[in-house]
A and B are shown apart, each in its own frame.
Chain A
Amino acid sequence: MNTTLIAIIFVIVAPVLGGLIYGIERKIKARMQQRIGPPILQPFYDFFKLAQKRTFIVHSTHAFLGIMHFVSLWFALAVLIFGGDFILVIYLHLLSTALLIIAGYSTRSVFSHLGANRLAITALAYEPVLILIAVSLYMVTGSFNISSISTLEEPLIVKMPLAFVALLLVLPIKLKKSPFDIAEAHQEITGGAEIEYSGIFFEFLYTAKWLDYIFAYALVYLFVASNFFLAITVLILTFLFINALDNSTARVDYKQMLKFIFWTALPAALLNLLWVTL
């Protein structure tokens, strides 16, 4: 009962937590570039500011799909946190991405379409890796349920080091970080699928980005769940790694990204699967 309560609270505060992570990240990134950087609460200032802008929409379908993207992402996150079926979580996440992709296509906007195309490509890059990780998880724990991790004595990373490496390689795609931030690419296609949103409606997409942080780091947490100190260390190191990577690399194009993922992350995940199987 206690764990359920914690899970419920965690799901409810997830957007706030994600906002905090985003704030810390901006600060750390600035410090890495020897800048002072915005305050840690900056994402929330943005949030409140956006709430009182005049709102523009292109048409209602587009605006509504944006809202539902946020709702379905939150829902996928909830299933993840409650320890649901891993494959289901992956597909629910795909569903939320699908709504954003359709929203991107639903206007006659160049950048929106480009962003939607690229979002679909990024989904192609990371989804197979996640599924292979899920199957490896089954081979280790004997269940597709994420909650089965709690039965393990040693952390998952010991059994699945290569899968963890694969996850680290696809995380920048998930979080839209350089070198794989092709879906958002602010300097190139000015935000991609989210470009036509403004005011209140943009807020849903902005907050969905925070939820994505929680989703991504929750996936990392799965690998180290059993040991608290290890978990904290690995999460912080992952966080630093992703930001250092973001700061030190330039954006690749989608073909390079696909090639890279299919020649590194995917074989790594597959090797890990073979290792735990044979």
Chain B
Amino acid sequence: MNWLFYSLFLFPLLVSGLILLFPKRINQGLIIATALILSTISLYLYGSVKEAVSIQVPELVNFLVAGIDILLLLYFGYVAIKHRHLLVGILSILQLAGAIYVLTIAPHHSTAQFYIDRLSLMMFLLINIVSGVIAVFAIRYIDEENCSEYKKKFFLSVIMWFIGVMNMIVSADNLEYFFLFFELTTLASFLLIGFRNDETSVRNALNALWMNQIGGLAILGAIVYAIFTPEYEQLTFSGLLSNVSNTGLLLPFALLAVAALIKGAQMPFSSWLLGAMVAPTPVSALLHSSTMVKIAPFVILRISPAIKDTNVATVIMLLTGFVFLVAAISALSQDTFKRILAYSTISLLGLMCMLAAAGTETAIMAALMLVIFHGISKCMLFLNAGIIEHVYHYKQTSQMDRLGELGPFTALAVAIGFMSLLLPPFGGFIGKWFSIESIGSSLPTFKLTGALIIAAIAIGGAVMALLYFKVTGVLFSRSGEQEVIRFEKTHPLYQSSIYILLFLIIGGMLALPVLLPSFFAPIASTITQVSISSVFKGGSLYINNLSLPIIPMLIAFLVLPVTIILSLFIHFKGVDRVKEYTCGEKVDYRFSSLYFSTEKAMPFYIVVGGIFFVALVFVGGML
């Protein structure tokens, strides 16, 4: 069995090397085949692995890891010198010193370096399937990009390599390994964001680099602290988790949470994810949906048993609740389509981390649902943003008012993507619904924090609804002249990737009554170590104390997705067509929407977010 895990880790790395060597034609087939193989392996693993698996790698790998660590940090130092970036330089020196210090003093136990439980298996599914689709999409997308052949290959190569690293990070148990993989994802994002190599790209890439380096430092801090605490025998997640009850020391967890939240682009560290927009769209799709930012909820889910019901969890929940609200509000002022998506990612990541930190069984389930469904929906939205940019040449939402006429299929896919994050009966909605009900039902324990968070979720959710309606509205706008709608044909690679993701969204929604008890509940119970009861009774699915009525959900399915699709194709006969009412004037009117200027408050958000981050470390240290 272990060789399958190894293949998940190493096969993408191998392919990424091969891509650089092979010509373009072979690469195409190679990437599609790799995506298929990786998806199949992850599916097979999810089906066959029932118990958590620990993998111990040979001693040699430890040295390899240490070597790559040093090399990587030296490279960061080189980047700092090359671009004359002081902050990156200081942080790399600090990191290098910390890493060498850790390597010299760390006790060497022969423990397992990888630990794969159901959570990791779920992340495998998300990473390999969704990123596979993105890789396939990227073949065509990068082909249309204006750059040299070698750079195109390099781009695809980094994407495959990124997938491999992500597979490793979600199964890493050893903290030193985790640190390396964390830094490797930082490197990947640095390379991908700086891909276009113009001034803004480089600036944003360096921005992303130093922010994530702080995360790396936080991990190093957690490791050092754990080394000097004799109760923590092993420098592994499982070791920390199993010993936390003896020590009651939470600082390592607080530091890990800081690292995770920086990766998850929570304020004040949100600007690196927003800056990632300058890269080609598949990069944004990769960073936002299945890989990079999902490290945040993943790590918090991992450590949630340790921080549950502590002040650390309270601070994390307040921070993420705050971010959920203000990121949604900030998105209202944006007009660039990808920036709107980026803010909504930050906002929803806040929600996921909040639920993971809350740590009750249903909250964890809600977080898992959001991780999966947000990954799929956001990926589809970003790929569509790429299509809109490359095929229709629109970047601003206010320009896209013709899209409903030119590219009805793209418009429909975007609309469904937005709806799936918001409205019943989609998975994203169920996640949000569960989040309100699970936080609500644990109000007796959370008290004031819980009430504030509920208010944040309620207002943030409504703000996000306003945002999504604003964007969806543009896509549906079309004049009365065009009565018959024909779906446009884009490149087969584009089309097939969108179809796969649409299928996943709609299929996931229909299969939800089955997925909840058989997929999400077991994962949540492995995290919380408490078994979750799920029974069908009287047309409702009861999960602990929450109930999911099936019949309203089915009717809602008929009302929303079916209606939206049907509305494009229905044709009323025997009814007169008339022009729009414009007070009798003849005007060439296209679209109007409300615009809000909420940018002024951004410094305030950053300061408050910063205070929360400091408070997180402080609270962790106090206990």
Contacts and interface: CB of A to CB of B under 8 A. Distances in A.
Check A-B contact in the complex, CB < 8 A. Answer: yes
Interface of A: 54-61, 63-65, 68, 71-72, 75, 79, 84-85, 87-88, 91-92, 94-95, 98-99, 101-102, 104-114, 116-117, 120-121, 123-124, 127-128, 131-132, 134-135, 138-139, 144-145, 190, 195-196, 198, 266, 270, 273-274, 277-278
Contact of B473 (A68, A116, A270): A116
Contacts of A63: 572, 575
Contacts of A273: 451, 454-455
B563 A99 contact: yes
A59 B444 CA distance: 52
B403 to A, nearest CB: 12
B440 interface: yes
Contacts of A117: 470, 592-594
A127 B436 CA distance: 13
A194 to B, nearest CB: 11
B560 A95 contact: yes
Contacts of A111: 581
Given A57-B572, A72-B559, A95-B559, A108 B479 contact: yes
A144 B546 CA distance: 8
B134 to A, nearest CB: 28
Contacts, number: 212
Nearest to B593: A117
20 contacts: A57-B575, A60-B570, A64-B572, A75-B555, A92-B424, A102-B415, A102-B476, A106-B476, A107-B480, A108-B580, A109-B582, A110-B580, A111-B581, A113-B591, A117-B592, A124-B465, A131-B461, A144-B437, A195-B581, A273-B451
Contact of B443 (A65, A71, A135, A270): A135
Contacts of B462: 123-124, 127-128
Interface string B428-459: 01000100110011011001101100110111
Contacts of A65: 563, 567
Contact of B469 (A98, A109, A110, A128): A98
A131 B571 contact: no
Contacts of B591: 105, 108, 113
Identify whether the interface residues of A are mostly helix, strand, loop, or mixed. helix
Contacts of A198: 578
A56 B574 CA distance: 10
Given A99-B559, A110-B592, A127-B465, 10 more contacts: A59-B478, A61-B570, A64-B567, A91-B429, A108-B477, A108-B590, A109-B581, A131-B457, A135-B436, A277-B443
Given A91-B424, A127-B465, A145-B547, A196 B443 contact: no
Contacts of B466: 120-121, 123-124
Interface string B471-489: 0111011111011000000
A60 B592 contact: no
A60 B580 contact: no
B572 to A, nearest CB: 5
Contact of A121 (B404, B444, B579, B594): B594
Contacts of A60: 483, 567, 570-572
A123 B465 CA distance: 8
Identify whether the interface residues of B are mostly helix, strand, loop, or mixed. helix
Max chain B Cβ within 10 angstroms of own Cβ: one of A56, A59, A102, A134: A59
Nearest to B485: A61
Contacts of B429: 91
B440 A138 contact: yes
B556 A102 contact: no
B478 A108 contact: yes
A79 B482 CA distance: 37
A251 B229 CA distance: 65
Interface of B: 404, 415, 419, 422-424, 429, 433, 436-437, 440-441, 443-444, 447-448, 450-451, 454-455, 457-459, 461-463, 465-466, 469-470, 472-474, 476-480, 482-483, 546-547, 549, 552, 555-556, 559-560, 563-564, 566-568, 570-572, 575-582, 587, 589-594
A138 B579 CA distance: 49
B496 to A, nearest CB: 27
A128 B563 CA distance: 26
Report the 9 A-B pairs with minimum CB-CB distance, sorted nearest first.
A105-B473, A109-B580, A128-B458, A131-B458, A56-B578, A58-B480, A127-B462, A106-B476, A135-B440
Nearest to A107: B580
Contacts of B587: 110
Contacts of B570: 60-61, 64
Contacts of A57: 572, 575-578
A91 B436 CA distance: 12
A95 B422 CA distance: 9
Given A88-B424, A102-B473, A95 B465 contact: no
Contacts of A132: 454-455, 458
B443 A91 contact: no
B423 A94 contact: yes
Contacts of B590: 108
Contacts of B441: 138, 144
A68 B580 contact: no
A61 B479 CA distance: 11
A11 B415 CA distance: 31
Contact of A59 (B443, B454, B465, B480): B480
B424 A95 contact: yes
Contact of A88 (B433, B448, B589, B594): B433
Contacts of B564: 102
Contacts of B448: 274, 277-278
Contact of A131 (B454, B555, B556): B454
Contacts of B593: 113, 117
Nearest to B475: A105
